[in-house]
Amino acid sequence: MCGIVGYIGQNPSKKILLDGLKELEYRGYDSAGIAVLEGDDFSIYKALGKLHNLEEKAHDFETHDFAIGIGHTRWATHGKPTELNAHPHLGQFSYVVHNGIIENYQELKSMLQSKGVTFLSQTDTEVIVHLFEHMLLTHKEPSEAFARTIEQLHGAYATLLITKQSPDTIYFAKHGSPMILAKNATHGEYFFGSSDAALIGKATQAYYLEDGDYGYVSPQGIVLKHANRTIENPAFTTLPSDRLSAQKEGFRYFMEKEIYEQSTVLADTLMGRLRDDSVYFEELAGLDTRRFSQIKLVACGTSYHSALTASYLFERLAKIHTTVEVASELRYREPLLDKNALFIVISQSGETADTLETLKMAKAAGLTTLVVCNVDNSSMVRLADYAILTRAGIEKGVASTKAFATQVTVLWMLSLFLSALPKERMQAEIATLRQLPETTKVSDTLHEKLKRLSKRYLYGHGFFFIGRDLFYPLALEGALKLKEISYLHAEGYPAGEMKHGPIALADPELITIALMPQTLLYEKTKSNVEELSARDATICAISPLEFDKSDDFIRTHAHAHPMLEFFEMMVILQLLAMEISIRLGNDVDMPRNLAKSVTVE
């Protein structure tokens, strides 16, 4: 995903910008660029591929005195990964970098083209710089022209702009994508970064811009505005100096950080893929989806639970017959692979040996293959005919959290992409998808409640996680999370299956985590939970509807769509597992016996 850096000061700008971009590399990108303005001279370098290509191009370039510069790593959304589409983008005498998506860029582009402006790239970003220069025709003051520009942008953005009209100033704005303004003790030196990873070691104080913040910075200082009001003395906080703790961004464990991050990475997953009444995957251009009569989903571990979830969505929304397989089983059971099936593998790492082998099998059998993956250039991405990246960013916790959330989101979008839903239904699904970043935010109240509850769940002879329909794979995932990091015995079951055996275990020492959404089979699930309660099992119910037969109750919001209930409950299960593991004194991020990427069969 894209990264942004910026610098104002006397020190060598090229090194500072490139160092910053290197720290953002982990987010994934396909091209990079920098623009530096020293006096009246712009120096611009852009390169496709890895940062060392950019470094080579800019090898002989150095700044000697005060300069301002902006840099960017691009992860293509609008327009292919080409040098022309790489940031920074040029107007006549200004450059811009941007993360996010300008939703009304077509409208703005047409307006500017009608005034004679020529566009070089296919990006949405380029409209910002042209609009700014257009605004300068009527507002002579660049800061005013910039403010009027920002006013007209719809969508999500974090942007930096530099212009020869004011060669000591960087203009900035943030709405929906992260951006940090930073400084150190050196007078007149300022930094920007889309994550603090780019700033650690260079700056000591950071101001995390809020949505709606904009303004400009020059050696004379910072002018920060919000809704036309100037914010005096923005509250800078101290940046951590230790890189590892910085990477954890104040969280105790990577897993905790990754749970909290889900809200922002899901916005990345959705970015550029939602239209008003359709879903769009640039990656699937050329794929004739009508020719598939069935879908086969294959994965391991948590990714298998995403696949199971997806099977409900594919059949319900896309009306395509769907089967799901554990990769290590499919490999050796001499399966009949039908050429009319779209073969989809799901993998966070793109390297899991069993999943990779099934992909090879499917290719050899002549099936069309697609991978849903988090790691660009991984073996599966390189091998599959088509690849959709989940854009979760690096996941360090062995127990997968944000990778699962982004996989399910991609697969939900894919089921809509393959569907023929009526327009209104499609619009409703898309509006619901847009609510995911909000739905997955962790509130302090919820986290505190789960911390408190966790002390009741350190013992017992086992956990059942139960749910129906979409909430059955979620129950499996909840049980897996707990098992992986607490080492307690936990199993997921379809709620309706309890009476066919598992209920024999019911007693006060058996803890049941019951997923009771109100939008999907509530009454049916409730009866199953009551059967357990009647046998004195300890019940922790998760539901928006009061349930008085439980020992503990976690109230969720009354969403209108099952997938919103799904995602809210997913966060609860992840946090609960983590808090139990912490109380048991386990290594949350590196649980015993487990590996993040399993490259042996």
Query: Which residues are annotated as catalytic?
Result: 2, 596
CB of 307 vs ligand G6P, minimal distance in Å: 10
* Beta strands in 382-537, from DSSP E residues, in sequence order: 386-389, 462-467, 490-494, 510-515
Q: Is residue 390 part of the contact set for ligand G6P (CB under 6 A)? A: no
CB of 359 vs ligand G6P, minimal distance in Å: 11
Which two structure tokens, joined as six digits, stand for 222? Answer: 């910072």
CB of 357 vs ligand G6P, minimal distance in Å: 12
Q: Is residue 598 part of the contact set for ligand G6P (CB under 6 A)? A: yes
Binding residue (CB under 6 A) for ligand G6P from 349, 401, 512, 581: 349
Q: Which of these, 371, 394, 390, 322, lies nearest to 597 by C-alpha position? A: 394
Nearer to ligand G6P, 448 or 587 (CB): 587
Q: Is residue 300 part of the contact set for ligand G6P (CB under 6 A)? A: yes
What is the DSSP code string of 98-117? EEEEETTHHHHHHHHHHTTP
Binding to ligand G6P (CB under 6 A) within 218-237 occurs at none
CB of 218 vs ligand G6P, minimal distance in Å: 46
Question: Exposed, middle or buried: residue 551 (CB in 10 Å: 0-12, 13-18, 19+)?
Answer: middle
Which two structure tokens, joined as six digits, stand for 36? Answer: 């530096």
The stretch among 114-122, 275-283, 349-357, 423-431 that binds ligand G6P (CB under 6 A) is 349-357
368: β partners: 342
Nearer to ligand G6P, 174 or 305 (CB): 305
- Rg of the chain, C-alpha, whole Å: 26
CA dist 294 → 108, 144, 365, 418 (Å): 42, 56, 15, 11
Q: Which of these, 374, 305, 376, 378, lies nearest to 359 by C-alpha position? A: 378
Question: What x/- string results for residues 532 through 551 when contact with ligand G6P is judged by CB under 6 A?
Answer: --------------------
Q: Is residue 302 part of the contact set for ligand G6P (CB under 6 A)? A: yes
| Three-state SS at 8 | strand
170 contacts 216 by C-beta, under 8 angstroms:
yes
Nearer to ligand G6P, 379 or 454 (CB): 379
Which two structure tokens, joined as six digits, stand for 318? Answer: 């896309």
Phi-psi region of 293 (alpha: psi -120 to 50; beta: other; left: phi over 0): alpha
490 contacts 465 by C-beta, under 8 angstroms:
yes
Other Cβ atoms within 10 Å of 294 Cβ, number: 14
Q: Is residue 347 part of the contact set for ligand G6P (CB under 6 A)? A: yes
Give the rounded distance of the alpha carbon of 56 from its chain centre: 31
Binding residue (CB under 6 A) for ligand G6P from 309, 400, 419, 525: 400
CB of 596 vs ligand G6P, minimal distance in Å: 6
Q: Is residue 348 part of the contact set for ligand G6P (CB under 6 A)? A: yes
CA dist 279 → 154, 197, 437 (Å): 19, 32, 17
| Three-state SS at 138 | coil
467: β partners: 494
Binding residue (CB under 6 A) for ligand G6P from 120, 431, 560, 594: 594
Question: Exposed, middle or buried: residue 138 (CB in 10 Å: 0-12, 13-18, 19+)?
Answer: exposed
Question: What x/- string results for residues 303 through 322 when contact with ligand G6P is judged by CB under 6 A?
Answer: x-------------------
| Three-state SS at 480 | helix
CB of 370 vs ligand G6P, minimal distance in Å: 15
Binding residue (CB under 6 A) for ligand G6P from 88, 301, 437, 517: 301
Q: Is residue 401 part of the contact set for ligand G6P (CB under 6 A)? A: no
The stretch among 83-91, 311-319, 342-350, 544-552 that binds ligand G6P (CB under 6 A) is 342-350
Question: What x/- string results for residues 430 through 449 when contact with ligand G6P is judged by CB under 6 A?
Answer: --------------------
Question: What x/- string results for residues 142 through 171 when contact with ligand G6P is judged by CB under 6 A?
Answer: ------------------------------
The stretch among 66-74, 244-252, 346-354, 438-446 that binds ligand G6P (CB under 6 A) is 346-354
Q: Which of these, 341, 256, 349, lies nearest to 300 by C-alpha position? A: 349
594 contacts 398 by C-beta, under 8 angstroms:
yes
CB of 348 vs ligand G6P, minimal distance in Å: 3
> How many residues of this chain bind ligand G6P (CB under 6 A)?
15
CB of 352 vs ligand G6P, minimal distance in Å: 3
When CB distances to ligand G6P are compared, the closest residue is: 301
Nearer to ligand G6P, 174 or 402 (CB): 402
Nearer to ligand G6P, 20 or 301 (CB): 301
CB of 362 vs ligand G6P, minimal distance in Å: 15
Q: Is residue 596 part of the contact set for ligand G6P (CB under 6 A)? A: yes
Place of tokens 């940031």: 87
Nearer to ligand G6P, 320 or 598 (CB): 598
Which two structure tokens, joined as six digits, stand for 228? Answer: 């036309």
Task: List residues near ligand G6P by CB under 6 A.
Answer: 300-303, 347-349, 352, 355, 398, 400, 594, 596-598
